[in-house]
C-alpha cells in the first residue's frame, strides 16, 4: 500500500528538519560546537588578543603618547590593563637586568635594546624622533642654531651621555665641532626640558615631541636634518613576562595603523 498524503508530508517535514540541523552544525566551530557570538568580528586583533594586566617599561619621551595609546588599547580590549613605567632608557635597561616584573620594553634607541638581546624577544621599530633646541620662554638670548649653544654666557643643560638623547646630542654637537659645557647632565629628556621650563637653564637639547608639549614655556628651535640625528624607538616583549601572548599582542599592535596615527598625531615620525 502506498503512503498516504499525510504520511508523505510528515516524512518530508522530518527530512527538512534534519537538513536544517545539519546546516546549523556546519556553521558552528570546528569542534562541532555552535559558533560563538561575535566570532566574525571585523577586528580580529582585538578579539584574539589575550586579556591580562601588562606592565610596559617605556622611555620618558613616550610618556604622553603612551597614555593616549594605552587608553585606546584598553578600550578596544575590555578586561586588559596596561600600566606604564617611564624612565630614561638606561634606567629601564638596569631594571630589566635586575629582573623587575614587566612584560614589554620600549627604548629611545636601538643601542640600549641591542644590549638586552638575552632578555627580550625580537625588537621592532615603532616610531622615530628628532632633536631640537628648547630655548627659554621668549628665547631672550635669540638662539637660532646649534653653534649658539657654545656661547659661554648661556646656561645649557644636556642629558647624561649614557641617556639616548644625551648621546644623540653629543653626536650632533661633535659632528659640527661645537663645544658645549653643560651646567648639568640630566637622567632623562623630561628632566632636561624641566630645567628649561623652570628657567634654571637657558637652553637644552630635547626631542621635538617633548618640546612641542611645553607650549609657550619654551621656544622650539629646529635643527636642520643634515645636522640632526634620528632617534629610533624599538619595542620588544620581555622573556621574563608572565603574560607572553598578551605582551606580544600589545607590541604587535604598536605597529598597526591605529597606533601609528596616535604616534603621528603626537609628532613622532613613521618607523
**What string of pLDDT tens digits covers the 271 residues of the chain?**
444 443 444 434 444 344 433 343 333 333 333 333 333 334 445 556 678 899 999 999 999 999 999 999 999 999 999 999 999 999 999 999 999 999 999 999 999 999 999 999 999 999 999 999 999 999 999 999 999 999 999 999 999 999 999 999 999 999 999 999 999 999 999 999 999 999 999 999 999 999 998 989 999 999 999 999 999 999 999 999 999 999 999 999 999 999 999 999 999 999 9
161-186: buried (b, 16+ CB within 10 Å) or exposed (e) per residue? eebbbbbbbbebbeeeeeebebebbb
CB 107 within 8 A of CB 93: yes
**Among the listed residues 144, 193, 146, 141, the one whose alpha carbon sits nearest the alpha carbon of residue 169:** 146
- Strand 156-159, strand 104-106: pairing: unpaired
The Cα 250–Cα 82 span in angstroms is 9
Nearest to 181 by CA among 213, 154, 217: 154
Please report the domains of the chain, with CATH numbers, ordered by start residue. Answer: 48-128+232-265 (3.40.190.10), 130-230 (3.40.190.10)
Question: Taking a C-beta distance cutoff of 8 angstroms, is the pair 243, 52 a contact?
Answer: yes
**Degrees to nearest 5, angle at CA 134 with 137 and 89:** 135
Best CA proximity match to 68, nearest among 267, 236, 242: 267
Q: Who's near 143: CB < 8 A, 6+ residues apart?
A: 133, 135, 149, 154, 202, 203, 219, 221
Q: What is the pLDDT of residues 250-271, one digit of tens each?
A: 999 999 999 999 999 999 999 9
Tell me the angle at which helices 63-76 and 257-265 cross, rounded to the nearest 10 degrees: 150
Q: Find out whether 177 and 184 touch, Cβ atoms under 8 Å.
A: no
Amino acid at each position: 500500500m502506498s503512503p498516504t498524503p499525510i504520511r508523505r508530508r510528515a516524512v518530508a517535514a522530518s527530512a527538512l528538519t534534519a537538513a536544517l540541523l545539519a546546516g546549523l552544525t556546519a556553521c558552528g566551530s570546528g569542534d562541532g560546537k555552535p559558533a560563538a557570538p561575535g566570532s566574525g568580528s571585523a577586528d580580529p586583533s582585538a578579539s584574539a588578543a589575550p586579556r591580562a594586566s601588562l606592565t610596559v617599561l617605556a622611555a620618558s619621551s613616550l610618556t604622553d603618547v603612551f597614555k593616549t595609546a594605552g587608553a585606546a588599547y584598553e578600550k578596544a580590549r575590555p578586561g586588559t590593563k596596561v600600566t606604564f613605567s617611564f624612565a630614561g632608557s638606561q634606567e629601564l635597561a638596569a631594571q630589566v637586568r635586575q629582573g623587575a616584573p614587566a612584560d614589554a620594553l620600549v627604548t629611545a634607541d636601538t643601542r640600549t635594546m641591542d644590549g638586552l638581546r638575552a632578555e627580550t624577544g625580537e625588537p621592532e621599530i615603532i616610531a622615530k624622533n628628532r632633536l631640537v633646541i628648547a630655548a627659554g620662554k621668549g628665547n631672550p638670548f635669540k638662539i637660532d642654531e646649534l653653534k649658539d649653544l657654545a656661547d659661554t654666557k648661556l646656561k645649557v643643560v644636556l642629558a647624561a651621555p649614557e641617556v639616548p638623547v644625551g648621546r644623540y646630542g653629543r653626536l650632533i654637537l661633535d659632528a659640527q665641532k661645537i663645544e658645549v659645557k653643560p651646567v648639568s647632565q640630566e637622567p632623562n629628556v623630561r628632566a632636561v626640558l624641566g630645567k628649561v621650563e623652570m628657567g634654571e637653564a637657558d637652553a637644552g637639547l630635547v626631542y621635538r615631541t617633548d618640546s612641542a608639549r611645553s607650549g609657550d614655556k619654551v621656544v622650539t628651535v629646529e635643527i636642520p636634518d643634515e645636522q640632526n640625528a634620528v632617534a629610533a624607538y624599538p619595542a620588544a616583549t620581555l622573556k621574563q613576562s608572565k603574560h607572553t601572548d598578551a605582551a606580544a599582542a600589545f607590541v604587535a599592535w604598536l605597529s598597526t595603523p591605529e597606533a601609528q596615527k596616535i604616534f603621528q598625531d603626537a609628532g613622532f615620525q613613521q618607523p
